[in-house]
Amino acid sequence: MIKHITPTTPLTPLPVAKGHWLLKNLPSMGKNILSHFYDKEQALGKTYENPIPFMRIICTSEPDFMRYVLQQNHRNYKKGKSYDVLKLVLGNGLVTSNGQFWQKQRRLAQPAFHKKSLEDLFNSMGEVAVQYFDGLEAKRGTEIDIAREMMAVTAKIALKALFSDNSEEDMNAVYESMTEAQRYVSDVLNDPFARIKFPLNGRKKQFKKDMSVLNEVVLKAIAKRRKSTEKYPDLLQMMMDATYEDSNEQMNDQQLMDEMITMFSAGHETSANALAWTMHLLAQHPEIVAKMRTEIKTVCGDNLPGFQDLRQLTYIRQVIDEGMRLYPPVWGVSRTAIAADEYRGVKINKDDVVFCLIYNAHHRADLYKNPKTFNPDRFETAKVKEMPKMSYLPFGGGPRLCIGNMFALMEMQLLLVGLLQRFDFELIKDQVIDMEALVTLRPRYGIKMNLK
Ligand code: HEM
């Protein structure tokens, strides 16, 4: 049931980000969307209105307000128009669906991320990691782009977790068509004129081609598995065998395909960016690397960690948390109001968008002392307990909290441990490192390092 809150305070108009007379804030958002929202917050405060044509967007980095929308009154908020663009690639999977359909899918998928399944997935992750590190030896003594490296290894891990039995050729086809399709969607989301340009310059046609390759390969994998008598320890098998609570039925091919593509898309780029940014921070903080190496030596010596070791790698976990505070891979999440609502004097109309600015929240000086400083100590367990609820939300919050959060954390721990056990990294001097906020927050020109 949707909660209707009686106003407790008189309605107050929000400060408004003024923009172009016609296009409102679109031109400024198009130039640099992350700086736009950050600068407006510095000028206008933690909650402000950011109009664009035909849409009222309420931006906030207030933990209580985000909690209200994402959790306390979540039934009044759905994923709106911006997620419709993602549907072009993800179909009607967990990330993009709403209401009862989403709830049914979430219930079905949840067990695949319970502890026992995670342990199986972690083991196959380890195999991919070893292969990857062995291959990386060949690049020792050369310059690498750590962002590109992390994208490649997390894609391999995700593909193995999804379809453990597939040929390298098919997996490359998934990877390439998916990367192109995601680039197209990012450009549609971030370029206000994309809908006019892309049908004319051939990009829409290419996108359709990429999507048909992607769909074909995934459907082929599903068909092959349906025929197989063998059971595989992967997400495809778990999702294929799961049954809906009400009807006892299983997912059909189309739905399975949407969920597989969703998991691949939601799962690998986010972790890759988190790792790349964390490595960038570590390359500037040898004292933190030294502390991590001491922990690694104590917990797992020269071996990669086993599933049981992960809990003991507490400092590594703090480093990851702090990396995602400074560079949250998902820099904001939005919701559209289903019915008019009010939050502490802020009027929310039906169809208004509330944009929860995760990046801004993570950089607030009133929530984090010296917010620009990389300091993993702020994530010591006792200190985490003191943090206001939803002031740190790299995985979102409420019922739509990232389903793959534990998968991602174990993957990042595993890869960081392996990287530090086997290699040294030196940041190339005088390169431009810049953030680009597409669907995820990525390094615009990559991050170049000498691999030693
Ligand atoms: C560092 C890595 C990751 C980050 C930062 C991240 C972040 C997020 C965030 C913020 C959301 C909520 C979006 C919203 O509320 O609008 C989300 C949802 C989701 N994530 Fe992740 N994610 C990561 C890794 C993964 C992985 C590894 C998987 C799958 C294997 C995954 C699958 C999903 C799915 C399916 C959803 C939609 C859940 C739902 O609405 O029920 N994510 N993620």
Q: What distance in angstroms lies between residue 267's CA and the mean position of ligand 1's atoms?
A: 7
Q: Looking at residue 182, what is its pLDDT?
A: 86
Q: How far is the CA of 89 from the centre of ligand 1 (A)?
A: 16
DSSP code of residue 92 = S
CB-ligand 1 contact for 261 (6 Å cutoff): no
Task: Kindly tell me if the per-residue pLDDT of 9 is higher than 70.
Answer: no
pLDDT for res 1: 52
Per-residue pLDDT, averaged over 3-17, amounts to: 70
User: Alpha-carbon distance 451 to 137, whole Å?
Assistant: 9
The response to whether residue 83 sits with its C-beta less than 6 Å from ligand 1 reads: no
pLDDT tens digit string along 314-355? 999 999 999 999 999 999 999 999 999 999 999 999 999 999
Host H or E run for residue 174: helix 168-190
| Cβ pair 111, 117 in contact under 8 A | yes
Q: What is the whole-number distance in angstroms between the Cα of residue 331 and the centre of ligand 1? A: 12
What is the rounded average pLDDT of the residues 22-36?
92
Beta-strand ranges (E) seen in 50-103 are: 57-60, 77-78
Least-confidence region, from 126-140, 159-173, 195-209, 413-427: 159-173
Distance CA(315)–CA(452), nearest Å, equals: 24
CA–CA separation, 282 and 348 (whole Å): 42
- Give the CA count within 13 Å in the CB-facing half-sphere of 266: 24
Q: Which residues of 108-142 are buried (b: 16+ CB within 10 A; e: fewer)?
A: bbeebbeeebbebbbebbbebbeebbeebeeeeee
What pTM was estimated for this model as a whole? Answer: 0.95
Quickly state the pLDDT bin for 188 (edges 50, 70, 90): confident
> H or E segment at 421?
helix 405-422
Helix (H, G, I), strand (E, B) or coil at 60: strand
Residue 360 in contact with residue 61, Cβ under 8 Å? yes
Task: Give the pLDDT band of residue 10 (cuts 50, 70, 90).
Answer: low
Residue 157 has pLDDT above 70, yes or no: yes
Share of the chain above pLDDT 90, in %: 87
Instruction: Tell me how far apart the alpha carbons of residues 328 and 437 are, in angstroms, rounded to a whole number.
Output: 10
When the pLDDT of each residue in the chain is averaged and rounded to a whole number, the result is: 94
Q: Across residues 125-149, what is the average pLDDT?
A: 97
**Mean pLDDT, residues 3-21 taken together:** 75
Expressed in angstroms and rounded, the spacing between residue 22 Cα and the centre of ligand 1 is 35
> Tokens 């995934």 label which residue?
218
Whether ligand 1 lies within 6 angstroms of the CB of 330 is answered as yes
Ligand 1 contact via 407 beta carbon (within 6 Å): yes
The per-residue pLDDT for 166 is 81
CA 400 – ligand 1 centroid, Å = 8
Beta bridge partners of 48: 59
pLDDT value of position 94: 97
CATH number 1.10.630.10 is the correct assignment for the domain at 26-451: yes
Q: Is the pLDDT of residue 85 over 70?
A: yes
Nearest alpha carbon, ligand 1 atom 20? 402
Query: What residue ranges do the domains of the chain occupy?
Result: 26-451
The kind and range of the H/E element at 317 are helix 314-326
Structural contact between residues 443 and 277, judged by C-beta atoms closer than 8 angstroms = yes
User: Which residues have a Cβ under 8 Å from the Cβ of 14 and sit 6 or more positions away?
Assistant: 47, 48, 49, 58, 346
Distance 202 CA to ligand 1 centre (A): 31
List Cβ neighbours of 230 (8 Å cut-off, separation of 6 or more). Answer: none
Nearest atom, ligand 1, residue 329 CA: 5
CB 408 near ligand 1, within 6 Å: yes
Cα 398 to ligand 1 centroid, rounded to whole Å: 12
pLDDT in tens, 225-264: 999 999 999 999 999 999 998 889 999 999 999 999 999 9
Ligand 1 pocket: which of 402, 407, 440, 441 to mutate (most atoms within 8 A of CB): 402
pLDDT in tens, 365-418: 999 999 999 999 999 999 999 999 999 999 999 999 999 999 999 999 999 999
- Give yes or no for residue 274 CB within 6 A of ligand 1: yes
pLDDT band at 6; cut points 50, 70, 90: very low
106 close to ligand 1 (CB < 6 Angstrom):
yes
